[in-house]
Amino acid sequence: MKVFVTGANGQLGHDVVNELVARGHEAIASGSGEKYTGVQDGTAVCSAPYCSMDICQRENVRQVLLAVKPDAVIHCAAWTNVDGAEEPENKPKALAVNGEGTSNIVDACNYLDCKMMYISTDYVFNGQGTEPWQADCQDYDPMNVYGFGKLMGELVVKECLKKFFVVRISWVFGRNGGNFVDTMLRVGSNHSQLKVVNDQIGRPTYTLDLSRLLVDMIESEKYGFYNATNEGNNISWYDFAKEIFRQGDMPVEVLPVTTEEYGISKAQRPFNSRLDTSKLAEQGFRPLPDWQDALKRYLLDKNR
Ligand SMILES: NC(=O)c1ccc[n+]([C@@H]2O[C@H](COP(=O)([O-])OP(=O)(O)OC[C@H]3O[C@@H](n4cnc5c(N)ncnc54)[C@H](OP(=O)(O)O)[C@@H]3O)[C@@H](O)[C@H]2O)c1
């Protein structure tokens, strides 16, 4: 299959390109810049060709995708700075990337009649309650600008395409970008005590594990809405931090605090990020491994 991947310089897109190449698919990586930055230790980890394509430029997207003629597009590019999106000067850009950018890709996929996968988030919901969000839940009620933009993306995919996957994920960590695990390791290396919120609940998602599932999906025709995170208990960020320091063998004391005690962040955050992933097995997909196992492999990989 020929698969076009947006956001290939980001955490998820990088691993998706590598997974496609490892399975013998023809992957075309794309990012907004001139260069493919998917490198580790100065060595390119992937031989996929690279396209520079700003997803907000409608004509540019159309020209590139019509020239490439992919069998599928895995759309990982997004504005992901959740707090930054709340700044009045950034809001139009955040919405343009996540909403109109996705719409531009949808238009080209529609024209090409190819498969499309859109990576979404639990932020399309309001983060209230304690029940896990179901894959087919459409009780949309985003609580911040980022969530609103990602919802615009979901809606245009659902309304305009038939051969689509919407995959909602949460708490992402991967080798190609900054994430909570890296932040904890960095801050923990020069603090003996840290405060971390214990009232926002969800599950982490390791991009390496997710990429395997996304490629399984794109090879199939089992279209629709899915949730995908690593398996295991739902936890708080406090629990996650404690496990990072336990596995990393770092003597850092983690103190639980509420979101209110922690202080105001620019964007409102969901308390309930629980995503029900049971539809994966129901549809014959192999769920992701347990999040503790994923963290162990991530830390091993980082230390290699
Ligand atoms: N990170 C999380 O915790 C999380 C949680 C739930 C859902 N998600 C979703 O998962 C997906 C992947 O997230 P991630 O963590 O891998 O994101 P990431 O590391 O921030 O990467 C996003 C990529 O999007 C690209 N991009 C931004 N604006 C663009 C534009 N105008 N044109 C083309 N490319 C553009 C950037 O490319 P360049 O670097 O080339 O500029 C960047 O590398 C996103 O859809 C995100 O919304 C993430």
pLDDT tens-place string over residues 294-304? 999 999 998 87
Q: Is the pLDDT of residue 88 over 70?
A: yes
Decide if 253 is inside a domain: no
> For the residues 276-297, what does the mean pLDDT come to?
98
Indicate the average pLDDT of the chain: 95
Q: For residue 21, report the distance from its CA to the centre of ligand 1, in Å.
A: 20
Question: 190 near 250, Cβ under 8 Å?
Answer: no
Q: For residue 206, report the distance from its CA to the centre of ligand 1, in Å.
A: 15
Catalytic residue among 50, 123, 146, 298: 146
Q: Is the pLDDT of residue 19 over 50?
A: yes
DSSP 1: -
Reference 288, options 226, 245, 237; nearest CA is: 226
Residue-wise pLDDT for 226-273, tens only, equals 999 999 999 999 999 999 999 999 999 999 999 999 987 899 999 999
Decide if 12 is inside a domain: yes
Catalytic residue list contains 146:
yes
Q: Is the pLDDT of residue 42 over 70?
A: no
Question: What's 35's domain CATH number?
Answer: 3.40.50.720
The tokens 């336990």 sit on which residue?
246
> For the residues 62-68, what does the mean pLDDT come to?
97
Alpha-carbon distances, residue 126 vs 140, 155, 236 (angstroms)? 7, 16, 17
Residues spanned by the domain of 283: 2-178+204-232+274-289
Instruction: Count the domains in the chain.
Output: 1
pLDDT for 303: 83
* CB proximity list for 89: less than 8 A, separation 6 or greater: none
pLDDT for 304: 79
Decide if 294 is inside a domain: no
Decide if 190 is inside a domain: no
**Residues 8, 227, 106, 86, CA torsion sign:** negative
Residue-wise pLDDT for 94-149, tens only, equals 999 999 999 999 999 999 999 999 999 999 999 999 999 999 999 999 999 999 99
- Choose one of 172, 181, 206, 230 to mutate for the ligand 1 pocket test, by most ligand atoms within 8 angstroms of C-beta: 172
Decide if 251 is inside a domain: no
Reference 157, options 127, 125, 124; nearest CA is: 124
- Residue closest by Cα to atom 21 of ligand 1: 10
Decide if 150 is inside a domain: yes
For the chain, how many helices (H) and strands (E)?
Answer: 11, 15
SS3 content of the chain, % helix, strand, coil (to 5): 40, 20, 40
The pTM assigned to this predicted structure is 0.97
- Choose one of 76, 166, 229, 291 to mutate for the ligand 1 pocket test, by most ligand atoms within 8 angstroms of C-beta: 76
Q: If pLDDT is split at 50, 70 and 90, which confidence band does 39 have?
A: low
Query: In the beta sheet, which residues pair with residue 194?
Result: 254
- Ligand 1 residue neighbourhood (C-beta within 6 Å): 6-7, 9-13, 31-33, 54-56, 76-80, 97, 101, 119, 121, 150, 169-172, 177
Question: 50 near 5, Cβ under 8 Å?
Answer: no
Q: For residue 180, report the distance from its CA to the centre of ligand 1, in Å.
A: 15
Q: For residue 121, report the distance from its CA to the centre of ligand 1, in Å.
A: 12
Rounded (10°) angle between helices 11-22 and 207-218: 50
Range with lowest mean pLDDT among 41-50, 115-124, 214-223, 242-251: 41-50
Residue-wise pLDDT for 146-192, tens only, equals 999 999 999 999 999 999 999 999 999 999 889 999 999 999 999 99
